[in-house]
Amino acid sequence: MNDNKIKCMYFDHRFTGKPQGKQCGWVQKSLTQTDITIENLADALCHGASFKPGVLVGGNKAENWYQQQLFGLDFDNGVMIEDTYNKVISLGITPCFMYTTFSHKEEHHKFRMIFCNDTVITDGNVRDRLQATLMGIIGGIDEVCFNRDRLFFGGKGKVVLHPDFEARINAESIIEKYWNDDFEQYISNAKPKSKKRNSPAASSKSKDKGDTNKEYQPYENLNVKAIKEHDVEYLRKVLAHEPIEFENKNEFWDYIYSELDIAELIDIDDPRSFCCVLHDDRNPSANIFTTQNGVQKYRCCSENLTLNIKQLIEMLGNFKSEYKAIQFIMDIYNLCRA
Ligand SMILES: [Zn+2]
């Protein structure tokens, strides 16, 4: 019981409402690797704390994933708490606890279900398969919760639902019993990035041409292509941005200009110097810098252009109106204004 502590990324600040705008960035920066009992975690989440089930080392992104024992599922499409609980129990999979999120209502249930594996998982492929299997067999889950760097905010429910803190699942037996090739979609959807990924081992059975075809010679920046083609769906997957709501315009624009990462958006490895994505550039003439006010800017020296992220998207996407460009930004980054 005493050494029942589990590692996760955790931030103990107790929010009383869903974190908004800049608060989201603050949470991301404040999460630290923490050993905590499941009981304490459950109680903290019911009182507004935040956590990431995946343990990340050296950064906050999916590529920094190191190990994981806790698994979370996010339900917000109208399924009911009791029905969902009964379903997992009938499948022989027992969660450690459930809790309602900030936006939960009696007439529209929004909640999370947290599982604990019997061992710490250090193999990313096993982690992905388990997450995908849980999502696939239970259903009704927000797909964004697949990601290795997924952040879960707490809620204000105060009461832990269906606590069974000692309950453990076994990744191997769940995958063996329930894996279905259709679940592969969750994994491949979350694994975009036009860059060469560290190991192709992840997709032993991958049927996509994308992975195997290395003949794509002239390096094609898929993010830039997607902006040009207004491909919202692709960019939503690549950016995998947490949904954020803004209460007012200032907060909204502040976030867009200072928090959104231009280098990530246009998939640039070294923002200090790269070939401009706006013109045919053989010698790197572009860079990304941050002004004293904290605004990120895209700079092309050969065309003498300095653009903020909105202007860059307007230009790349050749949008007919500013309104359409803003709508596009909101769509790809999952942002909404109250
Ligand atoms: Zn240029």
| pLDDT tens string 138-193 | 987 777 678 899 999 999 999 999 999 999 999 999 999 999 998 988 887 776 54
> What is the CA(222)–ligand 1 centre distance, in A?
18
Ligand 1: distance of its center to the CA of 274 in Å? 10
Q: Identify whether 200 is part of a domain.
A: no
Q: Domain for residue 50, yes or no?
A: yes
How confident is the model over 7-20, as a mean pLDDT? 93
Same domain? 212 vs 300: yes
Task: State whether 233 and 282 are in the same domain.
Answer: yes
Q: How far is the CA of 30 from the centre of ligand 1 (A)?
A: 36
Q: Which residues pair with 112 in a beta bridge?
A: 74, 99
Whether 233 is in a domain gets the answer: yes
Question: Considering only 23-27, 181-185, 323-327, 330-334, which range has the smallest mean pLDDT?
Answer: 23-27
Cα(306) to ligand 1 centroid in Å equals 10
Q: Which residues are placed with Cβ below 5 angstroms of ligand 1, an ion? A: 276, 278-279, 300, 303
| Tens of pLDDT, residues 100-119 | 999 899 999 999 999 999 99
Q: Render 250-299 in DSSP notation, one character per residue.
A: HHHHHHHHHTS-HHHHTT-S-TTSB--SSS--SS--EEEEE-TTS-EEEE
Residues facing residue 36 across a β-bridge: 6
Q: What is the DSSP letter of 105?
A: B
| Domain end call among 190, 225, 257 | 190
pLDDT, average across residues 39-58? 96
pLDDT of 336 reads 86
The CA 303 to ligand 1 mean position distance, Å, reads: 5
Expressed in angstroms and rounded, the spacing between residue 193 Cα and the centre of ligand 1 is 23
pTM score: 0.66
Residue 155 CA to residue 18 CA, distance in Å, equals: 8
Distance CA 295, CA 314 (A): 17
Distance (Å) from CA 315 to ligand 1 centroid? 11
Instruction: State in Å: Cα 101 to ligand 1 middle.
Output: 45
| Mean pLDDT of the region 32-36 | 97
Instruction: Report the pLDDT value the prediction gives residue 196, as an integer from 0 to 100.
Output: 37
Distance 287 CA to ligand 1 centre (A): 10
Give me the domain span that covers residue 281.
205-336
Instruction: Read off the tokens for 58.
Output: 């050296």
Task: Give the pLDDT mean for 194-206.
Answer: 38
Higher pLDDT, 15 or 78: 15
Please give the distance, rounded to the nearest whole angstrom, from the Cα atom of residue 233 to the centre of ligand 1.
26
211 within some domain: yes
Least confident of 77-86, 115-124, 223-232, 239-248: 239-248
Instruction: Indicate the residue among 165, 190, 215 that finishes a domain.
Output: 190
CA-CA distance, 73 to 122, in Å (whole number)? 20
**335-337 and 244-246 beta bridge pairing:** parallel
**Separation of CA 229 and ligand 1 centre (Å):** 19
